[in-house]
C-alpha cells in the first residue's frame, strides 16, 4: 500500500492511500483514517476503527463534490452510537433469532443486544474493534482477529477487508475469512447513502431499482418468517420507483418496521458478482449501482435515524439515508436447507465481493 500525505499528482490507474491520525480510543490506542483517491478527485475515507467508511466525496452533475454517506465526527461518537454508520459488520450481519443457533449438535447462546436477538455481531461486534492495516500495493486492506467465544460464537476467526477505488467511481469491497472450527460468518458494509449530499435532508426523492422477485417478510422483532412475492406490493422495485411514494404505501410490513428493513432475494447461491440495485437522485444526478455475489440485499431506509447527530452537528430526519447491505439472509444460520451456506469450516476461505459504483446521469 502506498501511504502518503501529498494528495497532488495522482496518476490514473495508480492507487494512493493517504493516512492521517484521527484521535484515540479510551485506552489510548490511536485511531487513523485512510483516504483513497482516484484520478478524478473522488475520495473515500476509511477508518481502522470498525474498518468503517467515514466519508465518500463524489461529484454531482455540475462537478460539485459532496459527501454521500452519513458519518460521525470523532471515534468516540462511533463507540457511543448504535447506528453502525459505514461499519464493517460481523461476525454476523443482521439478526439471529433468539441469539442462538445449533451447530453439530451443540447449542450456542450469543450476545442478546436487540430485543432478545443478536444484531450485527453483538454489542461489541467488529464495528467497535480497531483493525490492523496490512501492506497493500493497490488499495487498503484491514485485518481483525476474533477469538473463540467472541459474542458467543465458536472458533477463532481471522477476517480481512480490502477496499479499492477505481477511476470509474467503483469502490470494491473484498472480504475474506478463516477459522479453526466450524462457525457462522456473514459480513457486510453498513454505509448509509444520501446521494444529494445533504445530511439534513431525506432520501424520499431517490429512485430505487432492485432486481428481485421476492423479499423476506418479518415478524415484530424483524426476524424473517418466510419469502413473499413482490408483485403488486410496495416492495416491487423491479422498475425504478420513488422511495417516498413507496414508504407511504399502506402495508403491514412497512408499518411494522417504520419503513423498509427487509432482505431481498437477489441470488440463488451462485457466487457471481452481478448488478442487483440502482439508486438515482434526480436532484444531483448522482447514481449508485450495487453489485454483489451474495444471496441477500437488505434495504434499510433509515427508519430510526430521526435525531441522530452526524458530521458537523447535523441532526438527521427520519429516512435521512438508506442502506443496501449485501450478505446472507437474516437468521440464515437457523434456516433449514440454507444453514450450510453460511458455515465456515477449517481449511475453507470465506469470500465475498460487493461493489458500489457512483457516477452521474443527466
One pLDDT digit (tens) per residue for the chain, 362 residues: 334 433 333 334 445 689 999 999 999 999 999 999 999 999 999 999 999 999 999 999 999 999 999 999 999 999 999 999 999 999 999 999 999 999 999 999 999 999 999 999 999 999 999 999 998 988 999 999 999 999 999 999 999 999 999 999 999 999 999 999 999 999 999 999 999 998 789 999 999 999 999 999 999 999 999 999 999 999 999 999 999 999 999 999 999 999 999 999 999 878 899 999 999 999 999 999 999 999 999 999 999 999 999 999 999 999 999 999 999 999 999 999 999 999 999 999 999 999 999 999 97
Who's near 267: CB < 8 A, 6+ residues apart? 274, 276, 292, 293, 294, 295, 296
Question: How many CB atoms are located within 10 Å of the residue 173 CB?
Answer: 24
Residues in contact with 1: Cβ distance below 8 Å, sequence separation at least 6, in sequence order: 17, 133, 134, 135, 136, 137, 138, 139, 140, 141
CA–CA separation, 216 and 208 (whole Å): 18
How large is the C-alpha radius of gyration of the chain?
19
Which residues are marked as active site?
A: 190, 325
> Which position has the grid cell 462457525?
183
Q: Is the peptide bond before 91 cis (omega within 30 degrees of 0)?
A: yes
Cβ atoms of 94 and 299 within 8 Å: the answer is no
b/e per residue, 119-145, with b = 16+ CB within 10 A? Answer: bbbbeebbbbbbbebeebeebbbbebe
Q: Specify the pTM.
A: 0.94
Domain ranges of the chain: 1-362
Backbone angles phi, psi at 80, to 5 degrees: -85, -25
> What's the CA gap between 165 and 167, in Å, rounded?
7
| E strand or H helix at 255 | helix 252-257
pLDDT at residue 8 in the model: 35
Question: Contact 213/265 with Cβ under 8 angstroms?
Answer: yes
From CA 297, how far away is CA 325, in angstroms rounded? 5
Is 197 in contact with 182 (CB distance < 8 Å)?
no
Q: What is the CATH architecture of 1-362?
A: Distorted Sandwich (2.70)
Distance CA 186, CA 91 (A): 6
DSSP H helices in 82-228:
none
Contact 280, 207 (CB under 8 A): yes
Q: Among 163, 125, 136, 145, which Cα is nearest to 47's?
A: 163
CB 113 within 8 A of CB 128: no
How confident is the model at residue 5, as a pLDDT? 35
What is the C-alpha separation between 217 and 228, in angstroms, rounded?
6
144 and 51 in contact (C-beta within 8 Å)? yes
Cα 120 to Cα 98: distance, rounded to the nearest angstrom: 13
* CA dist., res. 262 & res. 322, Å (int): 12
Amino acid at each position: 500500500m502506498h501511504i502518503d500525505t501529498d494528495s497532488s499528482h495522482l496518476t490514473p490507474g495508480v492507487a494512493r492511500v493517504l493516512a492521517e491520525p484521527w484521535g484515540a480510543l479510551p485506552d489510548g490506542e490511536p485511531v487513523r483514517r485512510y483516504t483513497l483517491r482516484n484520478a478524478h478527485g473522488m475520495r473515500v475515507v476509511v477508518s481502522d476503527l470498525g474498518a468503517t467508511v467515514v466519508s465518500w466525496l463524489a461529484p454531482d452533475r455540475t462537478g460539485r463534490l459532496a459527501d454521500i454517506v452519513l458519518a460521525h465526527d470523532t471515534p468516540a461518537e462511533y463507540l457511543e452510537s448504535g447506528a453502525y454508520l459505514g461499519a464493517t459488520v460481523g461476525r454476523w450481519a443482521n439478526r439471529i433469532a433468539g441469539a442462538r443457533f445449533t451447530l453439530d449438535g451443540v447449542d450456542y447462546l450469543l450476545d442478546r443486544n436487540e430485543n432478545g436477538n443478536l444484531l450485527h455481531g453483538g454489542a461489541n461486534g467488529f464495528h467497535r474493534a480497531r483493525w490492523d492495516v496490512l501492506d497493500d500495493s493497490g488499495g487498503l486492506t484491514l485485518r481483525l482477529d476474533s477469538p473463540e467465544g467472541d459474542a458467543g460464537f465458536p472458533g477463532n476467526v481471522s477476517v480481512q477487508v480490502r477496499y479499492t477505488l477505481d477511476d470509474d467511481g467503483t469502490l470494491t469491497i473484498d472480504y475474506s475469512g478463516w477459522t479453526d472450527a466450524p462457525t457462522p460468518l456473514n459480513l457486510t458494509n453498513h454505509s448509509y447513502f444520501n446521494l444529494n449530499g445533504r445530511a439534513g435532508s431525506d432520501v424520499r426523492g431517490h429512485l430505487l431499482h432492485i432486481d428481485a422477485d421476492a423479499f423476506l417478510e418479518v415478524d415484530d422483532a424483524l426476524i424473517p418468517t418466510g419469502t413473499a412475492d413482490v408483485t403488486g406490493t410496495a416492495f416491487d422495485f423491479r422498475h425504478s420507483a420513488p422511495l417516498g411514494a413507496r414508504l407511504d404505501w399502506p402495508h403491514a410490513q412497512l408499518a411494522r418496521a417504520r419503513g423498509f428493513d427487509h432482505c431481498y432475494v437477489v441470488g440463488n447461491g451462485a457466487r457471481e458478482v452481478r448488478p442487483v440495485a440502482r439508486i438515482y437522485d434526480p436532484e444531483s444526478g448522482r447514481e449508485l449501482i450495487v453489485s454483489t455475489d451474495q444471496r441477500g440485499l437488505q434495504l434499510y431506509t433509515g427508519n430510526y435515524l430521526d435525531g441522530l447527530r452526524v458530521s458537523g452537528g447535523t441532526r438527521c430526519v427520519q429516512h435521512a439515508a438508506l442502506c443496501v447491505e449485501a450478505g446472507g439472509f437474516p437468521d440464515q444460520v437457523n434456516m433449514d436447507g440454507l444453514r450450510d451456506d453460511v458455515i465456515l469450516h477449517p481449511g475453507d476461505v470465506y469470500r465475498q465481493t460487493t461493489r458500489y459504483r457512483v457516477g452521474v446521469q443527466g
